[in-house]
Chain A
Amino acid sequence: MLTKADLLKPENFALEFFRENDFSRYQCKKCKNWFWSKVEKDVCGDASCVSYEFIGNPTIPGKLTWRKIREKYINFFKSKGHTQLNRYPVVARWKPDTLFTGASIFNFMPWVLNQSTRPPFNPLVVDQPSIRFVDVDNVGLGTGRHCTQFSMMAHHCFNSPEEIYWKEKTVALSYEFFTKVLKMNPDKITYIENLWKGGGNAGPCFEVMSGGNEIATLVFMQYEEIDGKYVPMKMSVVDTGYGLERIAWASQGTPTIYDSIYPKIISFLKKQARVKQYDKKIFEEYCKLSSVMNVEDVDVEKQKKILVKQISKNLNISEEGILEQIYPYHNIYKIADHTKALCFLLGDGIVPSNIQEGYLARLLIRRSINALRNLGIDISLEEIVEKQINEIKDIYPEIENNKKDILKMIESEEKKHLENIKNAKPIVKRIESLVASTGKKTFDKKSFVMLYESHGLDPEIVKEHLVMPSENVSTIDIRKEIRNNLEKEEQQKKKLGDYKKEDPLAFLYGLKPTQKLYYEDEKLFKTKATILKIFDNLVVLDKTLFYPRGGGAEPDSGSIEGAKVLDVENHGDIIIHTLDSTKGLEENQLIEIEVDSDVRDSITRHHTATHIVNAVCRKVLGNHVWQGGTKKDKDKAHLNITHYETPSSQQITKIEKVANEIVKKKLKVIKTSMDRTDAEQKYGFKIYQGGAVPGSKLRIVNIDGWDVEACGGLHKDNTSEIGKIIIRKIEKPHDGVIRFVFSAGKSADLWEAHRKQILKDCAEILKTTNAKVPEGAKKLFEKWKQLRKKLEKHKQKQAEKTAKEIKSEKVGTVDLIVKEVPNASPAQLQQISQKLSTDNTFIVLLGTGEKVNVFCSAGKNVNINSGLIASKICQDLGGKGGGSPVLAQGFGTDKKKIPGMIKKIKTELIV
């Protein structure tokens, strides 16, 4: 086992290449790190040791665009024997421990690195769009260099079984690319010695710096990290990362990275927002100094203030003058960055929602809309995203192919968020009342977090509508809180996992893997097997016919030597059967096992039908559709898909129709075992509909021309064996997810009979024929709505009439109204109160019906707390209530006490 110090030993970095090319080793006078340079330097070139020297003074000639650099990079490495690998999706579906692809090496984690499978090519070059959310608060004028989405250009080689190339060639290639292809001055490059670690792997690395800009990292991955110590990996890997955007920035020397990669979008937004051209001196000074900022280490907002103060002093300009110049750009850069990230996130199959990756996409949409509002621009986010797609469609045509879906999702989210902002006032008021009713004097951080998470309301919007004082909370604080909560959840999950580890199924130790007969012959339902182990009512056999619970499928049922099988579970390679009784069974006994073929038949019909419905949903609703959980039982199945709106009845009917057409087409369902890399290269990442699958070989289920998935479940051999598919209902388990509940085969026939009865019942209620039920339902609904409206108006008139009859009485400076209103609902009491309310009134209305509805309100000149009074009244009347100092409500149950209560309010409570 090696330590960090071992990995950082000078001999790990002393390359022949450096000696041959006149590089020398120096120690940075600021950070004390060692680095290699052709000319003597005091500092290493890291952004924290030197401010951005390339701003206004590019280190790469020719003002190259990111597109040109990408082309040069790929062509150079192809000419050096590398094969180009097509990009992987930014959603890392193959990787069980990550949501997003954060670097090109993620493409090979864990399956290539743990040698479960081979790399697709070796050596290879790739342009891998990546996503990093940890830097989201740095985006804009935070550091001027962080991007939520960036392209990691990389060349990789996997040195197993034999070495292809290692440190010498890797550094030589980087040097040739920068100095010969991009014509960078060799004196401007430094190679900093460092240690890289991530995802459990580690190795020495060189950070390639130029003028404060890290343009590449060359990692020599060769260790696994175990408890802070390092053990050699079986395979050593050259893992490089060349920041495409950062290289473009170095070539253009613009004040920020965004100016070099989004010039058109920025120019468009500037024009729309009528933002003045910045003062070059102020801007360049700000951007150079901001290079030292990093959200991982410091409070960005605090740092920004320090920065502005510093520039104000350096240039003798007021802080307000600086802020006025930089803040519009902060918003513009944020929009440019986030909209590009959204193209990839939504284009690669994320649907905005309130959970996991969907929530992060929603966060970017909301941040972008808020930035547009800050700029006062009246254009849709959809329009800007479309411009971004047009900018990148030549390089990433797959994003253009999904444009329709991307824009629809943006439109739908934008509508929701703007609606939330519009309706912010009543939402905030409601929560404020709740907070006040708990006796709190200030609007707390927890409530801000709740409003941000559930309604997308920034603290600034919330504060506009608050009456009560609030904690000093910013959007950044909120996001930190959300991040902390997520981390706590993760830790909790880990703890639960550890707990399970402490409670192992010890009786399984030493047992051989169970032979899975259901894969060998799906039509075999009865056989003999030997009992290997009995533990309580759990039984392990040498072989089994019972398919275990898993992948959303219910387990097989049946019997083992006459005992009923209650459950079947898979633990590693061993299958455990739970029996109703193990009486009379012995280990090593040869017994008879029998699977219920009817149940198996129904579950497999539903499983194959689930693949079909999923594929058809993608066809009808769009490419963004992704499976988000399934359950296959004997009488029905459900499929959760990611989708942004409830499908229309026409869409549901179409999905059902196309699914049944596939059944009728009698398509073969082919089940094969494939090498993981071959399957990914042949079918793409859509095979991971059910999530990441372990192992070097994948079981591929292919419904010819419609659906290919990595799936371990049991299926029919031909779609015609499924029988009729009926979609029973649609549910929305949570935002961004739609659930299709359906039945197939015999269950569908039974269900259809049940539906016929429902239709008959509806026709009878509507007094019409079956065919005219939709028309009848529509008419009835219209009539119901009209009458409700009419009744509402009627009640309003009554409220007005009642209000006119109510007179106030003077108590000190307060106009007091305390009145019992017969048969009044809380809504009616509120209406009456609104008619009577002035700045000087204090109103208590008691609506009597089955119970007593209590409503209190205080005008702004009245120093009486409605919440406290309402709480006291409700309590005395045998109920409960509360609210804010200005508005409160509740209920009581004891009507007899009303006369006494009215007297008490006037004489005791408000005095």
Chain B
Amino acid sequence: MNVNETLRKASSELGTVDIDQLPQILQKMSSEITQMEKDLK
């Protein structure tokens, strides 16, 4: 897979989000996971 195909696949795994926003979306998800884990404790 080339760069675009890889990013497109990653984007579709998240429900086809804007590729340019992928790092921000992943970062946000990661932070929310940390917060949710904290809330569940």
Q: What is the interface of chain A, defined by CB distance below 8 A to chain B?
A: 646, 648-649, 652-653, 656, 726-730, 752, 755-756, 758-759, 761-762, 765-766, 770-771, 773-774, 776-778, 780-781, 783-784, 787-788, 790-791, 794
Residues of B within 8 A of A728 (CB): 19-20
Partner of A653, one of B5, B16, B32: B5
Q: How far is the CA of A728 from the CA of B20 in the complex (A)?
A: 9
Quick check: A770 and B8 within 8 Å, CB to CB? no
Closest chain A CB from B26 CB (angstroms):
5
Whether the Cβ atoms of B10 and A762 lie closer than 8 Å is yes
Contact B14 A759 (CB under 8 A): no
A-B contact pairs, 24 of them (CB 8 A): A653-B4, A653-B5, A653-B8, A726-B4, A752-B3, A755-B3, A755-B19, A756-B3, A758-B19, A762-B10, A765-B27, A765-B30, A773-B6, A774-B9, A777-B10, A777-B14, A777-B22, A780-B26, A780-B30, A784-B33, A788-B36, A790-B36, A791-B36, A794-B39
Interface centre among A766, A773, A776 (most CB of B within 10 A): A773
Whether B6 lies near A771 (C-beta < 8 A) is yes
A646, B40: Cα distance in complex, Å: 36
* Closest 10 A/B residue pairs (Cβ): A649-B12, A774-B9, A761-B23, A778-B13, A649-B8, A787-B36, A774-B10, A777-B10, A765-B26, A777-B13
- Chain B residue numbers with a CB within 8 Å of A787 are 33, 36-37, 40
Give the Cβ gap from A643 to chain B, nearest Cβ, in Å: 14
Interchain CB contact under 8 A, A758 and B20? yes
Minimum CB–CB distance from A850 to chain B (whole Å) comes to 15
- B39 in contact with A791 (CB, 8 Å): yes
From B3, B8, B14, B29, contact of A652 by CB (8 A): B8
Cα of A537 to Cα of B10 in the assembled complex, Å: 50
Cross-interface CB contact of A649 among B9, B23, B36, cutoff 8 Å:
B9
Please give, as numbers and ranges, the residues of chain B lying within 8 Å of A781 by CB-CB distance.
13-14, 29
Assess whether A777 is in contact with B33, with CB atoms less than 8 Å apart: no
Docked Cα-Cα span, A781 to B33, in Å, equals 10
A794 with B40: CB separation less than 8 A? yes
A780 and B4 CA atoms in complex are apart in Å by 20
A773 contacts B7, C-beta separation under 8 Å: yes
Pairwise interchain contact B6-A774, C-beta atoms closer than 8 A: yes
Contacts of B16 in A (CB 8 A): 646, 649, 730
Q: How far is the CA of A689 from the CA of B16 in the complex (A)?
A: 28
Q: Nearest CB to that of A781 among chain B residues?
A: B14
Residues of A within 8 A of B8 (CB): 649, 652-653
Q: A649-B11, A653-B8, A762-B26 are in contact. List 19 more A-B contacts (CB 8 A).
A: A649-B9, A729-B19, A755-B7, A756-B3, A759-B7, A762-B23, A765-B23, A765-B27, A766-B26, A770-B6, A773-B7, A774-B9, A774-B10, A777-B10, A780-B26, A787-B33, A788-B36, A790-B40, A791-B39
From residue A613, how far is it (CB to closest CB) to chain B in Å?
14
Q: What is the distance, in angstroms, from A206's C-beta to the closest C-beta of chain B? A: 59
Q: B33 near A762 (CB under 8 angstroms)?
A: no
Cβ–Cβ < 8 Å partners of A646 in chain B? 16
Expressed in whole angstroms, the Cα–Cα distance for A766 and B33 within the complex equals 13
B19: A residues at CB distance < 8 A? 728-729, 755, 758
- Closest B residue to A795 using CB positions: B39
CB-nearest residue of chain B relative to A787?
Answer: B36
By beta carbon, the residue of chain B nearest A751 is B4
Return the chain B residue nearest A656 by Cβ. Answer: B4
B1 partner residues in chain A, CB cutoff 8 A? 771
Q: Chain B residues near A770: list those with CB within 8 A.
A: 3, 6
Complex partner residue of B29 from A656, A730, A780, A794, CB under 8 angstroms: A780
Assembly CA distance A773 to B39 (angstroms): 28
Chain A residues with CB under 8 Å of B9's CB are: 649, 774
- Complexed CA–CA distance, A774 and B10 (Å): 4
The winner among B8, B14, B29, B32 for most chain A CB atoms within 10 A is: B8
Cα distance, A648 to B6, chains bound together (Å)? 13
B29 to chain A, nearest CB (A): 5
Minimum C-beta distance from B9 to chain A (A): 4
* In the bound complex, CA of A651 to CA of B10 (Å): 15
Bound CA–CA A728/B21 (angstroms): 12
Out of B18, B37, B39, B40, which one reaches A729, CB within 8 Å? B18
Decide: A648 and B12 in contact? CB cutoff 8 A: yes
Considering the complex, give the chain B residue whose CB is closest to the CB of A761: B23
Bound-complex Cα distance A770 to B4 (A): 11
The residue on B at minimum CB distance from A791 is B36
Known: A726-B4, A758-B7, A774-B13. A791 touches B20 (CB 8 A): no
Residues of A within 8 A of B20 (CB): 728-729, 758
A780-B39 Cα distance, complex, nearest whole Å: 18
A contact residues around B10 at 8 Å (CB): 762, 773-774, 776-777
Contacts of B27 in A (CB 8 A): 765
Looking at the assembled complex, report how far the CB atom of B19 sits from the nearest CB atom of chain A, in whole angstroms.
Answer: 6
Given A752-B3, A758-B20, is A784 in contact with B40 using a C-beta cutoff of 8 Å? no
Q: Which residues of B contact A649 (CB under 8 A)?
A: 5, 8-9, 11-12, 16
**Chain A nearest Cβ from B40, distance in angstroms:** 6
Alpha-carbon distance between A23 and B16 when the two chains are bound, in angstroms: 72
Which residues of the partner chain A approach B23 to less than 8 Å between Cβ atoms? 758, 761-762, 765
Residues of chain B within 8 A of A648, CB atoms compared? 12
Q: Report Cα–Cα, A575/B32, bound state, in Å.
A: 56
The reply to whether B32 and A784 contact each other, CB–CB distance below 8 Å, is yes
Chain B CB within 10 A, most for which of A727, A759, A770, A774: A774
The CA of A766 and the CA of B7, in the complex, are separated in Å by 13
Smallest distance from the beta carbon of B12 to chain A beta carbons, Å? 4
Q: Which of A759, A783, A788 contacts B3 (CB 8 A)?
A: A759
Residue of A761, A771, A777, A778 with most partner-chain B CB within 10 A: A777
Residue of A nearest to B26 (CB): A765
When distances are taken between beta carbons in the complex, the residues of chain A under 8 Å from B37 are 787
Contacts of A762 in B (CB 8 A): 7, 10, 22-23, 26
Q: How far is the CB of B35 from chain A (nearest CB, A)?
A: 9
Select which of B4, B26, B36 is within 8 A of A727 by beta carbon.
B4
Please name all residues of chain B whose beta carbon is closer than 8 Å to the beta carbon of A791 when the two chains form the complex: 36, 39-40
CA distance A794 to B40 in the complex (A): 8
Give Cα A489–Cα B30 distance, bound, in whole angstroms: 48
**What's the least CB distance linking A733 to chain B, in Å?**
14
User: How many angstroms from the CA of A765 to the CA of B28 in the assembled complex?
Assistant: 10
| Shortest distance from the beta carbon of B7 to any chain A beta carbon, whole Å | 6
Closest Cβ of chain B to A641, distance in Å, is 16
* Alpha-carbon gap, A767 to B15, bound state (A): 21
Of all chain A residues, the one with the shortest Cβ separation from B13 is A778
B24 CB to closest chain A CB, in angstroms?
9
Interface core residue of B12, B13, B14 (most chain A CB under 10 Å): B13
Query: A785: nearest residue on chain B (CB-CB)?
Result: B29
Cα of A57 to Cα of B2 in the assembled complex, Å: 72
What's the minimum C-beta distance from B16 to chain A, rounded to whole angstroms? 6
Minimum CB–CB distance from A672 to chain B (whole Å) comes to: 35
Closest CB of chain A to B20's CB: distance in Å? 7
A84 to chain B, nearest CB (A): 47
Q: How far is the CA of A774 from the CA of B13 in the complex (A)?
A: 7
Question: Shortest Cβ distance from A827 into chain B, in angstroms?
Answer: 15
Chain A residues near B32 (CB, 8 Å)?
Answer: 784
Q: How far is the CA of A781 from the CA of B8 in the complex (A)?
A: 15
A648→B16 CA distance, assembly (Å): 8
Across the interface, which residues of B come within 8 angstroms of A758, CB to CB?
7, 19-20, 22-23
* Inter-chain contacts of A774 with B (CB < 8 A): 6, 9-10, 13
Name the residue of chain B whose CB is nearest to the CB of A727: B4
* Distance of A505 Cα from B18 Cα, bound (Å): 43
